Chain A
Amino acid sequence: MNGAEAVIACLELEGVETVFSYPGGAVLGLFEALSNSTQIKNVLTRTEQGATHAASGYARVRRTAGVCIATSGPGATNLVTGLATAYMDSIPLIAITGQVSTSMIGTDAFQEIDITGITRPIVKHSYLVTDVKTIPSVIREAFYLATTGRPGPVLIDLPKNVADAECRAQIPGKIDLPGYKPTFKGHKLKIQRAAKVLQNAKKPLIYAGGGVVSSGAEEVLQELAHRIDAPVAVTLMGKSAYPFRDGYFVGMLGMHGAPAANLAVSECDVLLAVGARFDDRVTSNVEKFAQGAEIIHIDVDPAEIGKNVEVDVPIVGDAGAILRDMLEVLEPAEHQAWRARIESLRPMHSDAYADLPGAPLHFRDVIRKLNRMTKGKAIMTTDVGQHQMVAAQFFNAGRRGGFVSSGGLGTMGYGLPAAVGAQLAAPDDTVVCITGDGSLQMTMNELATAKAHKLPIKIILSNNGNLGMVRQLQKFYKGGNYFGIDLEGNPDFSKIAEAYDMAYLCVARPEEIEPALQQALDNGRLTLVECLIDCEEMVYPMVLNGCGLDEMVMADKQ
């Protein structure tokens, strides 16, 4: 067995069933070994970036580490955006790159690049394998690191001669990482203190993030919310952290959050943050965020605690484990007045929530219909921009890990390849990709991957001929001096669909939404639904720079 075969054998031992890859000269051995694997399905994407996003989508739906493979040099550099995306959103990913032979490293050989150097700030850990004997321990450690504690991407750089060398190493019995000991159980006294603070709260609010999803703490969070009678606001990454049908759900908070959620943050007296990191898109002006509230912060990464806001009760550990321990000590509470106040905020809808005459088709109506028709059971991936925020506002993620979006890095081009990964992870589920004309064109090449694997992804395209979110920013911050955002030269998307053998549907008026979506959801094929949206449509509410969450812009100035 050579090094490459050892790598594939170790991947099999880790239970890997799918890898997303792009071959090249430095990974010929790996691909040969891969061709002999009966367990692992190889998915050839159309760029390495697509492979990382697909692996990320796969990881989020399957709740395991996603694996991608690329060759040295440009193959490796093309992974950078995908690794950074996964790093910012704490998605477990294993990236294996080919490298020139160890004797050639440092000589600027053909397709040589220092990929461990380039990616150092955007991976949880990385390896340059110089000794074939270490392969089994490296792969085991990589999966352990990627999936435990705060998950994240791990890169393994494998020089050609190491891949070709004879490997007789044993699979290590236990993992030896003396410097890596993620905390799982929360500190008992801290949990008691948090429980006491919650018990004394008059207006408690739970702020749930992606950590709830990656910890699998959805159910225990729901139990806790009911126990202490506290409404729950979620972040973009935590969209599926709380069941939307439950009366405690107040929606997404932040820059384009639901008014009820944003106002609840400003009014609460105790804020319980679970697996969330007080990102600037959530807090807006930190000084004004949850000003009067005592803050309890649960996070698996100690470095997140106290990083952006001062916290009264910090608890480090796994969200699920801590919430379960909390339930042991929490008495049931009732906050009728506070709940009533939240209910009174709900109807305070901005323009975005009402059907105003004017533009014939609003993208939010497409999402709302989609919501009703899929009953919240679909997996939704999104790209980045206005369509993403509309999707986040109006799509109810009813399925575990059912909302797959690039939150931290805001990577345009994430949606389609992530949908490819998501559909492969859940072949029987409906996967919809919400995208814009700018984002889609960044990774549109992955349509070929979807076609090759007969993936019935439903791509819902919001086409406004503009880079809409940048347009919105220019409207608010640059006095409407629109520049560099007109996507003139856009292709005829119906012909794109035809070229990839997709079903194509166009929606130009509100009454066309339902029949088009019905057809798309029923046809069992790769489908493009193009929605023609007015470029003047803005996403509201919007919290402007420097403002508090309670200072939302709710509609266009008339």
Chain B
Amino acid sequence: MKHVLNVLVQNRAGVLVRVAGLFSRRGYNINSLTVGVTENPEISCMTIVVEGDDRIIEQVTKQLHKIVEVLKIKDVTNDEYVGRELLMLRVLAEKEDRVEIMKMCEIFRIKIVDINRKSFIIEATGNHSKLNAIEEAFRPYGIQEMSRTGIIAMVRGDNKAARRD
């Protein structure tokens, strides 16, 4: 089963390698890993999607905690959370297809951020399955290039555990 872990780490050189190294060394299956800053410039947040049963996830969490720079780990899988990924794709847009593609973008409520003579760049954010749907929808026109990020996640409501002051 897929688990989404929000991991707060001290923003220091080498932390990412320590975390990534841990996953490879212990043979854990990592689906995606996203790192970014938080409201506190000294703290980064990693969102890690990892596959495994409860026992493995427990080990992952415990091993992550042993990394000195890891401050807090929250498995948000079973919480109400907002998870978002970013997708960018360059889709072939011949004259006869252009209107149709633009309509589709409206339906999906996503943006065209660059227009070329033969192609569009489309930007979309959403959860994993929505982006999968978008990808599939545009595939018939010809996807020339695609790039997707991992997920970043935030628990809904007044998440007391997330407060870090």
Contacts and interface: CB of A to CB of B under 8 A. Distances in A.
Interface of A: 116-117, 120-121, 124-126, 128, 145, 177-180, 301-303, 306-307
Q: Main SS of the interface on chain A?
A: mixed
Interface stretch (B45-53, B54-62, B123-131): B54-62
A179 to B, nearest CB: 5
A128 B9 CA distance: 18
Interface residues of B, number: 20
Interface string B1-36: 000000001100110011001000100000000000
A307 B68 contact: no
Contacts of A117: 17
Given A178-B71, A303-B59, A128 B66 contact: no
Nearest to A122: B25
A145 B67 CA distance: 11
Given A120-B17, A120-B18, A121-B21, A306 B66 contact: no
A206 B69 CA distance: 35
Contacts of A301: 66
12 contacts: A116-B14, A120-B17, A124-B68, A125-B68, A128-B14, A178-B10, A301-B66, A302-B65, A303-B62, A303-B63, A303-B66, A306-B58
A301 B63 CA distance: 10
A179 B73 CA distance: 11
B68 A179 contact: yes
B64 to A, nearest CB: 9
Interface in B50-105: 55, 58-59, 62-63, 65-71
Given A121-B25, A128-B13, A179 B63 contact: no
Contacts of B25: 121
A498 B58 CA distance: 57
Interface of B: 9-10, 13-14, 17-18, 21, 25, 55, 58-59, 62-63, 65-71
A301 B71 CA distance: 16
Nearest to A316: B62
Nearest to B13: A128
A197 B21 CA distance: 39
A180 B70 CA distance: 8
Contacts of B67: 179
A307 B59 contact: yes
B68 A177 contact: yes
Nearest to B58: A306
A306 B14 contact: no
Contacts of A145: 68
A179 B68 CA distance: 5
Nearest to A182: B66
A440 B59 CA distance: 38
A529 B59 CA distance: 47
A465 to B, nearest CB: 38
Contacts of B9: 179
Contact of A179 (B10, B17, B21, B55): B10
A131 B7 CA distance: 27
Contacts of B69: 179
A264 B154 CA distance: 51
A536 to B, nearest CB: 40
A117 B20 CA distance: 12
Contact of A302 (B14, B17, B18, B62): B62
A121 B59 CA distance: 16
A180 B67 CA distance: 8
A117 B59 CA distance: 23
A128 B18 CA distance: 13
A178 B25 CA distance: 25
Contacts of B18: 120
B70 A179 contact: yes
A449 B17 CA distance: 38
A303 B25 CA distance: 15
A302 B10 CA distance: 21
B127 to A, nearest CB: 30
B59 to A, nearest CB: 6
B55 A306 contact: yes
Contacts of A125: 68
A303 B9 CA distance: 19
A180 B72 CA distance: 11
Nearest to B20: A120
Contacts of A126: 14
A302 B70 CA distance: 15
Which A-B residue pairs are the 8 nearest by beta carbons? A303-B62, A179-B71, A125-B68, A180-B68, A121-B25, A179-B70, A302-B62, A303-B63
Most central of A124, A177, A179, A301 by chain B CB within 10 Å: A179
A301 B59 CA distance: 12
Contacts of B55: 306
A116 B54 CA distance: 32
B140 to A, nearest CB: 45
Nearest to B64: A303
Given A128-B14, A179-B67, 18 more contacts: A116-B14, A120-B18, A120-B21, A121-B21, A124-B68, A128-B13, A177-B68, A178-B71, A179-B9, A179-B10, A179-B68, A302-B62, A302-B65, A303-B63, A303-B65, A303-B66, A306-B58, A307-B59
A178 B9 CA distance: 10
Contacts of A124: 68
A307 B61 CA distance: 12
A176 to B, nearest CB: 10
Nearest to A141: B68
Nearest to A149: B66
